[in-house]
Amino acid sequence: MVEKPAIAGGRPVRRNLLPFYRPFIGEQEKKAVEKVLTSGWLISGGVTGKFEDEFRKYIGCKFALAVNSCTSGLHLSLAAGGIKAKDEVLTAPFTFAATANVIVHRGAKPIFADIDKETLNISPESIAKKISSKTKAILPVHIGGLPCRIDEILAIARKKNIKVFEDAAHAVGSIYKNKKIGRWGDATVFSFHAVKNITTAEGGMITTDNQRLAQQLSILRLHGLDKDSWSREKTLHPWKYKVLEAGYKCNLNDVLSAIGVEQLKRLDSFLDIRTKYAKIYDRGLQDIEEIELPTRPAFGKHPWHLYIIKLKIERLRIDRDRFIEALRKENIATSVHFIPLHLHPFYQKNFGYKKGDFPNSEWAYQRVISLPLYPKMTGKDLQDVIIAVRKIIKYYRR
């Protein structure tokens, strides 16, 4: 007899809800924050400088600039890269709002290029088709941390003198062809939002090897000033600065950077746990014919920020939304990455995008579910997810 899922009146797999995500914050992070709080210097200063330095070494790039979010880092990159009104910037519709919103903030036009169904990443082939004389930048996203074919994207961009700014919100710790994400494009922007591979609660980092770009980013990050308060503090005239640009306010403060310094020390162990957990999911789900497991990278390392399964909905009696509801009734929280941007009212109203424009993104959207995967989960939590998924599949298979 097939066991009834909770949504159909059976008993749930768990009594308490397994959240989709919980950050790992240890004693070191708490002590580091307390130290900054009692130090007398809370804004961007020595601790932020240390975080940038450690991150730069981890990635192996020349410059790392801490910012208050990946979103502001992406916006600054476009601004420092000279993207302006009427320019076109290419990105995938299968991403979070921030990726395309920052293009709109520059007054530029987001041009969407469809994704590859298997990897869920923007494909170089679709990029090549969408490039025009107005294309000034490409903003590829490494979905779930799985690296894009960034070398091919760069090859297309270099031929046409187009800049590449990577949205690496999910990709702290990703490696493509033996080179870390963070060392490929003109600039790469990471996120330290609470759910990401490492966190500062909110925050981000821009990496680049381009000194001119780094200088411009540094100026734009803090009101367009030539020097920040930390460097002026030690001089005889700390009140003196020059405004070089109408800049923004996107710096990361020392309180949050203190968390970042400690989280960075844990990054490799976090990545090991994520990899181990992804393998446990693989083993527990690989024989289910109604599910497509996430793609392994052809080259390099997957940091497993997200573990995205695709339902073969043709083989099921319920759709993806109902599947998520069924998991929730088993007390398992999941998520969907992402609702394609061309299906949202703003992008339809302002840029004329409509349903049907990006078939691969829509195909993926109907099928994807992100399962919970984070270092705070226990082996039992993982098994509960596997049991719940298997139970729902068995009950609803055609």
Ligand X SMILES: Cc1ncc(COP(=O)(O)O)c(C=O)c1O
Residues binding ligand X (CB under 6 A): 69-71, 95-96, 98-99, 141, 167, 169, 191, 193, 204
- Smallest gap, in angstroms, from Cβ of residue 137 to ligand X? 15
The amino acid at residue 294 is: P
d(CA 92, CA 110): 9
Residue 70 or residue 111: which is nearer to ligand X going by CB? Answer: 70
**Interacting residues of 158 by C-beta distance below 8 A, sequence separation 6+:** none
- Smallest gap, in angstroms, from Cβ of residue 201 to ligand X? 10
d(CA 291, CA 120): 15
**Interacting residues of 273 by C-beta distance below 8 A, sequence separation 6+:** 375
Residue 148 or residue 157: which is nearer to ligand X going by CB? Answer: 148
d(CA 93, CA 386): 30
Residue 188 or residue 191: which is nearer to ligand X going by CB? Answer: 191
Cβ-count burial 238-262 (b if 16+ within 10 Å, e if not): eeebeeeeebbebbbbbbbbbbbbb
Residue 101 or residue 229: which is nearer to ligand X going by CB? Answer: 101
Q: From the candidates 109, 163, 180, 196, which is the catalytic residue?
A: 196
* Phi-psi region at 12: left, alpha or beta (left = phi > 0; alpha = psi -120 to 50): beta
- Smallest gap, in angstroms, from Cβ of residue 221 to ligand X? 14
How is the beta sheet containing 88-91 ordered, strand by strand?
63-67, 204-208, 187-191, 163-168, 135-139, 88-91, 109-112
- Smallest gap, in angstroms, from Cβ of residue 174 to ligand X? 13
Residue 201 or residue 313: which is nearer to ligand X going by CB? Answer: 201
- Smallest gap, in angstroms, from Cβ of residue 309 to ligand X? 18
Phi, psi of 175 (to 5 degrees): -130, 135
- Smallest gap, in angstroms, from Cβ of residue 105 to ligand X? 13
Tokens of 346: 């703003």
d(CA 347, CA 361): 15
4 is catalytic: no
The amino acid at residue 314 is: E
Let me know if 16 is exposed, middle or buried by CB neighbors in 10 A (0-12, 13-18, 19+). exposed
Residue 203 or residue 247: which is nearer to ligand X going by CB? Answer: 203
- Smallest gap, in angstroms, from Cβ of residue 205 to ligand X? 10
Residue 139 or residue 316: which is nearer to ligand X going by CB? Answer: 139
- Exposure on the CB side of residue 307, measured as CA atoms within 13 A: 22
Q: What is the CA radius of gyration of the chain?
A: 22
Any idea which residues carry the catalytic annotation?
Answer: 196
